[in-house]
């Protein structure tokens, strides 16, 4: 049995009563670390500052387009002289991007940075969140109190109206008589009396595809090529479809012969005045070369609509030209041209051809990229096209077809992008003004001090 | 610090505060055009409140330095440190929208994660380890005095062994009545010497000294049980059992004392170990806390500027 005694007194005698006044390794370590670690942290901050950049304070990497300016915070964070704050103002953005206003009737203009949020990493700054748009479009108000668009939109697959072109009662304003059903039939009469079966992309392709058109004219007339380069290039990043044009899409099958004497020669696909002049010239040259033809009796074997077959004998060359031009125009106006065009005979010598009014952009406030949808068959979306017999049919797909793939959550939900920016642009860049650059490369890269504007 | 019923008010307050912050955060997060951001009004409120809680938690150190200050009970400060510090972490996460940002904010957030995690660990250790102390270490002493007490134990063991050896080497003062009587009769009986009368046993004495020098003193003088047989209770018991067989019964009480000394040493070693666990996390928690407060304040200045 142990004889050791552990009374309070004996235990107390063991203790050095001044122990707390002497340093102990544990407390010493705690003190040194408590001083050292914050000092290291402070040193890191000072070191970063001494390196010249303020990158350490960045709340995140810049977007692709701005990443090159990462070291030059002052480019966007403009601090006025003597001021402490250096928030990003719209003015800083407008220095490089003269972004036009969205709508003159808008009651609220958000700050650039509220929609285009920087320091979010390598994102596309134009890919704004739907909530930015919903600020106004969830409950749209305008200065004149008359919203011209849907007043309440909640997102693409929640509360987005049907495309306005598909509103009840709307028809295709085009005046070219086109029967899609017929054109998509097999065994169609094609160029040079061959049999063909047409497909959608024989006539409908995105601009810039660079391929030849299978039914284009072999001799493209310059007038036909006035094809609206302006139309083709508008909002060019998302290639629109090439608007149908006779020279490119019709000419091979719909030939414009006007008289057997000239073989396969065709009149230009142009205004009646041009066609008329062309005919006079052609027949004038012919009779000059064949003066005996004046007295030949015209044995017409052509089916001229709405005209009796009365052979006419000219008394002289000019009368002969007049008769032949009249015959040719009768064929053209009442058969060849009329097959596709609406001609108005308003009493003048020549008819007026109604404007074709082909709609180049069916969704004027949205963009659609056919090229991005190339994996799909045309009729997967344009479901009504194969059976459309009437020019007035609008063949734009319904929004429900788009919603089968496009969802607001987009790739997060194994869907295609469905946020507003995918189809709509906030700024009307066609109204953008040119900005004047004023920075040097070292200034932009942050290797030189930024010169502040004098104003 | 024991987390018990007395923390109920703090616990409920923290839960209610956190629930309120969460209820506000969810719609704010869902409806923010570009997601929750520290620079939004609500983001700034979360950041400010969270940083204020962190500051309060950090002031505990100052409060401890000046215990005589009349600024509330130390226990209240400790509870405030624990619960407000706990709530400050989710508030700061709400502030940043659960993003760590880059560079300064990322460093700051990771430091804060370590501070928070070490704080949680510390709270758990402070809750459980004192119970182990009470139950398993009846011979504990003041931590800073362990080295000193260990020296005293070595002296005590040396003294005890000296006593035993003196007895074994025939010192009369160490003999029993009967041994003294036998020793006194030395010379009367031709085969009895004084030494044999006192049952002197020099080899055993040497062995005991050897045990002191090679086993006990190295164990007692050094901290920890590493590499020493006496550091293990079972081995120590076996060694002392052997000593008891070796020594006469009248010295067994000294052997018991020596064993008790070793037991105390083992408890001091364990106390040392537990103390390091109990307070070692502070070597991470406190320095990193100061760094977080420093960088947090700098982050606030920079964020307000830009």
> Looking at the predicted structure, is the pLDDT value of residue B178 above 50?
yes
Q: What is the CB neighbour count within 10 angstroms for residue B8?
A: 9
Boundaries of every domain in chain A? 97-162+398-455, 180-353
Alpha-helix runs per DSSP H in A290-398? 317-331, 378-381
Q: DSSP per residue over A10-47, as a string?
A: HHHHHS-TTGGGS--HHHHHHHHHHHHHHHHHHHHHHH
CA atoms of B24 and A56, how far apart (whole Å): 31
Is A448 in the B-facing interface, judged by CB distances under 8 Å?
no
Of A30, A34, A57, the CB nearest to B104: A57
Task: Kindly report, residue by residue over B61-105, the tens digit of the pLDDT.
Answer: 888 888 888 888 888 999 999 999 999 999 999 999 998 888 889
DSSP-based three-state secondary structure for A196: strand
CB A397 within 8 A of CB A366: no
The stretches in chain A having pLDDT less than 50 are 221-237, 455
CA angle A295, A300, A306 (to 5 degrees): 125
Is A4 in the B-facing interface, judged by CB distances under 8 Å?
yes
DSSP-based three-state secondary structure for B215: helix
**Probe site for chain A from B27, B34, B280 (most A CB atoms < 10 A):** B34
CA atoms of A224 and B224, how far apart (whole Å): 100
CA atoms of A231 and A360, how far apart (whole Å): 7
> Looking at the predicted structure, is the pLDDT value of residue B51 above 70?
yes
- CB atoms A131 and B102 under 8 Å: no
DSSP state of A95: T
Is A46 in the B-facing interface, judged by CB distances under 8 Å?
no
CA atoms of B253 and A356, how far apart (whole Å): 123
**Probe site for chain B from A1, A4, A31 (most B CB atoms < 10 A):** A4
> Per residue in B139-170, is it b (16+ CB within 10 Å) or e — as a string?
bbbebbbbeebbeebbebbbebbebbbebbbb
Per-residue model confidence (pLDDT) at position A221: 47
Judged by average pLDDT, the poorest of A115-119, B86-90, B155-159, B197-201 is B197-201
CB B257 within 8 A of CB B160: yes
> Looking at the predicted structure, is the pLDDT value of residue B171 above 80?
no
Max CA distance (Å), chain B: 114
CA atoms of A47 and B115, how far apart (whole Å): 24
CA atoms of A240 and A257, how far apart (whole Å): 33
Torsion from C-alpha of B225, B230, B232, B237, nearest 10 degrees: -160
DSSP state of A188: E
Contact residues for A281 (Cβ-Cβ < 8 A; gap 6+): none
CB B13 within 8 A of CB B76: no
Number of helices and strands (H, E) in chain A?
Answer: 12, 6
Taking the CA of residue B146 and the nearest CA in chain A, the distance in Å comes to 9
- CB atoms B107 and A26 under 8 Å: no
Closest by Cα among B44, B46, B53 to B85:
B53
Task: Kindly report, residue by residue over A302-352, the tens digit of the pLDDT.
Answer: 556 566 556 778 889 999 999 999 989 989 998 999 999 999 988 788 999
> Looking at the predicted structure, is the pLDDT value of residue B184 above 70?
no
Per-residue model confidence (pLDDT) at position A232: 45
Per-residue model confidence (pLDDT) at position A301: 52
Q: How far is CA A340 from CA A211, A242, A309, A328, A431, in A?
A: 26, 19, 25, 17, 37
Question: Which A residues 90-149 touch B at CB under 8 Å?
Answer: 114-115, 117, 119-120, 128-129, 131-132, 134-135
Torsion from C-alpha of A56, A57, A60, A64, nearest 10 degrees: -80
Contact residues for B238 (Cβ-Cβ < 8 A; gap 6+): none
Per-residue model confidence (pLDDT) at position A319: 92
B188, two tokens: 């009367």
Q: Residue B159: list chain A partners with CB under 8 A.
A: none
CA atoms of A332 and A258, how far apart (whole Å): 7
Per-residue model confidence (pLDDT) at position A238: 66
- CB atoms B287 and A6 under 8 Å: no
Taking the CA of residue B165 and the nearest CA in chain A, the distance in Å comes to 18
CB A70 within 8 A of CB A55: yes
Per-residue model confidence (pLDDT) at position B174: 59
B32, two tokens: 């923010």
Per-residue model confidence (pLDDT) at position A230: 43
Q: Which residue has the tokens 């003088």?
A: B221
CA atoms of A76 and A88, how far apart (whole Å): 6
CA atoms of B187 and B197, how far apart (whole Å): 11
Per-residue model confidence (pLDDT) at position A225: 46
- CB atoms A45 and B31 under 8 Å: no
CA atoms of B86 and B50, how far apart (whole Å): 10
Closest-CA residue of B relative to A6 is B139
**Probe site for chain A from B28, B104, B255, B256 (most A CB atoms < 10 A):** B104
Q: Which residue has the tokens 């047989």?
A: B229
> Looking at the predicted structure, is the pLDDT value of residue B190 above 60?
no
- CB atoms B33 and A6 under 8 Å: no
- CB atoms A19 and B144 under 8 Å: yes
Give the up-direction half-sphere exposure of residue A61: CA atoms within 13 A in the CB hemisphere.
9
Beta-carbon pairs below 8 A across chains A and B? 119
CB A221 within 8 A of CB A247: yes
Give me the mean pLDDT over the B256-273 stretch. 93
Give me the mean pLDDT over the B128-149 stretch. 90
- CB atoms A15 and B141 under 8 Å: yes
Judged by average pLDDT, the poorest of A13-17, A182-186, B174-178, B243-247 is B174-178
DSSP-based three-state secondary structure for B192: coil
Q: What is the CB neighbour count within 10 angstroms for residue A411?
A: 10
Closest by Cα among A84, A87, A131, A86 to A110:
A131
> Looking at the predicted structure, is the pLDDT value of residue B188 above 60?
no
CB A349 within 8 A of CB A326: no
Of A86, A114, A131, the CB nearest to B31: A131
Task: Kindly report, residue by residue over B30-39, the tens digit of the pLDDT.
Answer: 877 678 888 8
Per-residue model confidence (pLDDT) at position A223: 44
Q: DSSP per residue over B100-126, as a string?
A: --SHHHHHHHHHHHHHHHHHHHHHHHH
Which residues, listed in sequence order, are joined to residue A406 by a DSSP beta bridge?
A416
Torsion from C-alpha of B12, B13, B16, B20, nearest 10 degrees: -170
CB B96 within 8 A of CB B38: yes
- CB atoms A37 and B283 under 8 Å: no
Contact residues for B107 (Cβ-Cβ < 8 A; gap 6+): A41, A44, B295
CA angle B261, B264, B265 (to 5 degrees): 85
Closest-CA residue of A relative to B256 is A2
Is A409 in the B-facing interface, judged by CB distances under 8 Å?
no
Of A41, A85, A117, the CB nearest to B295: A41
Per-residue model confidence (pLDDT) at position A361: 86
CA atoms of A118 and A61, how far apart (whole Å): 8
- CB atoms B149 and A14 under 8 Å: yes
Q: Residue A58: list chain B partners with CB under 8 A.
A: 102-103
CA atoms of B139 and A326, how far apart (whole Å): 130
ipTM over 0.95: no
CA atoms of A156 and B201, how far apart (whole Å): 103
| Strand-strand pairing, A195-196 and A188-189 | antiparallel
Closest by Cα among A249, A261, A264, A247 to A193:
A264
Q: Which long-range contacts (CB under 8 A, 24 or more apart) does B176-181 make?
A: B176/B250
Taking the CA of residue B154 and the nearest CA in chain A, the distance in Å comes to 13
CB A268 within 8 A of CB A274: yes
């Amino acid at each position: 049995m142990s004889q050791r005694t552990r009374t309070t007194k004996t235990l107390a005698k063991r203790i050095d009563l001044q122990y707390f006044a002497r340093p102990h390794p544990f407390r010493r370590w705690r003190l040194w670390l408590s001083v050292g670690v914050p000092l290291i942290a402070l040193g890191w901050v000072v070191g970063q500052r001494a390196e010249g950049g303020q990158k350490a304070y960045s709340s995140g990497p810049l977007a692709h387009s701005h990443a090159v300016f990462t070291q030059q915070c002052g480019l966007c964070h403009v601090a006025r002289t003597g001021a402490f704050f250096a928030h990003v103002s719209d003015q800083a953005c407008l220095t490089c991007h003269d972004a036009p206003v969205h709508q003159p009737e808008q009651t609220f203009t958000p700050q650039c940075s509220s929609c285009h949020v920087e320091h979010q990493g390598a994102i596309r700054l134009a890919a704004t969140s739907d909530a930015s748009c919903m600020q106004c479009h969830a409950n749209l108000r305008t200065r004149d109190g008359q919203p011209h668009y849907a007043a309440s939109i909640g997102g693409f697959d929640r509360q987005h109206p049907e495309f306005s072109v598909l509103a009840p009662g709307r028809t295709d304003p085009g005046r070219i008589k086109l029967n899609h059903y017929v054109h998509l039939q097999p065994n169609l009469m094609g160029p040079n009396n061959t049999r063909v079966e047409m497909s959608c992309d024989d006539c409908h392709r995105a601009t810039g595809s660079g391929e030849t058109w299978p039914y284009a004219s072999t001799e493209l007339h310059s007038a036909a090529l006035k094809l609206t380069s302006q139309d083709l290039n508008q909002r060019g990043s998302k290639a629109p479809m090439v608007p149908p044009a006779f020279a490119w899409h019709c000419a091979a099958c719909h030939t414009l012969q006007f008289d057997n004497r000239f073989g396969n020669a065709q009149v230009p696909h142009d205004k009646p005045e041009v066609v008329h002049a062309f005919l006079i010239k052609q027949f004038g040259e012919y009779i000059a070369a064949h003066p005996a033809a004046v007295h030949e009796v015209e044995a017409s074997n052509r089916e001229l609509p709405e005209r009796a077959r009365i052979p006419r004998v000219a008394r002289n060359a000019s009368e002969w030209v007049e008769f032949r031009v009249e015959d040719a125009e009768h064929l053209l106006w009442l058969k060849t041209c009329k097959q596709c065009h609406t001609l108005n005979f308003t009493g003048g010598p020549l008819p007026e051809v109604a404007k074709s009014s082909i709609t180049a952009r069916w969704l004027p406030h949205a963009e659609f990229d056919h090229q991005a949808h190339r994996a799909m068959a045309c009729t997967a979306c344009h479901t009504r096209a194969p059976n459309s017999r009437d020019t007035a049919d609008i063949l734009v797909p319904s929004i429900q077809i788009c919603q089968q793939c496009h969802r607001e959550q987009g790739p997060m939900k194994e869907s295609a992008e469905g946020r507003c920016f995918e189809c709509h642009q906030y700024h009307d860049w066609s109204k953008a003004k040119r900005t004047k650059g004023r920075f040097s490369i070292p200034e932009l890269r942050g290797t030189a001090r930024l010169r502040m504007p004098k104003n | 610090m024991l987390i018990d019923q007395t923390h109920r008010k703090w616990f409920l307050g923290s839960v209610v505060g956190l629930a309120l912050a969460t209820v506000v955060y969810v719609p704010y997060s869902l409806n923010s055009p570009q997601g929750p951001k520290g620079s939004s009004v609500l983001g700034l409120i979360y950041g400010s409140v969270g940083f204020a809680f962190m500051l309060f938690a950090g002031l505990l150190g100052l409060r401890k330095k000046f215990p005589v200050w009349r600024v509330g009970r130390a226990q209240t400060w400790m509870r405030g440190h624990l619960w407000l510090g706990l709530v400050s972490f989710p508030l700061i996460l709400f502030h940043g929208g659960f993003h760590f940002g880059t560079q300064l904010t990322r460093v700051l957030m990771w430091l804060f994660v370590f501070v928070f995690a070490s704080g949680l660990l510390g709270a758990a250790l402070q809750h459980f380890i004192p119970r182990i102390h009470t139950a398993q270490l009846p011979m504990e002493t003041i931590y800073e005095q362990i080295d000193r007490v260990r020296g005293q134990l070595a002296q005590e063991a040396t003294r005890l062994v000296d006593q035993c050896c003196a007895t074994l080497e025939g010192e009369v003062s160490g003999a029993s009545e009967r041994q003294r009587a036998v020793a006194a009769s030395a010379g009367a009986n031709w085969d009895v010497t004084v030494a044999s009368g006192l049952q002197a046993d020099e080899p055993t004495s040497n062995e005991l000294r050897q045990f002191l020098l090679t086993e006990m003193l190295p164990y007692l003088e050094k901290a920890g049980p590493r590499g020493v047989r006496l550091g293990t209770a079972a081995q120590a018991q076996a060694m002392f059992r052997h000593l008891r067989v070796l020594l006469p019964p009248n010295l067994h009480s000294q052997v018991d004392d020596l064993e008790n000394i070793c037991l105390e040493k083992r408890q001091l070693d364990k106390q040392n170990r537990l103390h390091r666990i109990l307070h070692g996390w502070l070597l991470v928690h406190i320095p990193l806390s100061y760094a977080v407060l420093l960088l947090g304040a700098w982050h606030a200045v920079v964020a307000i500027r830009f």
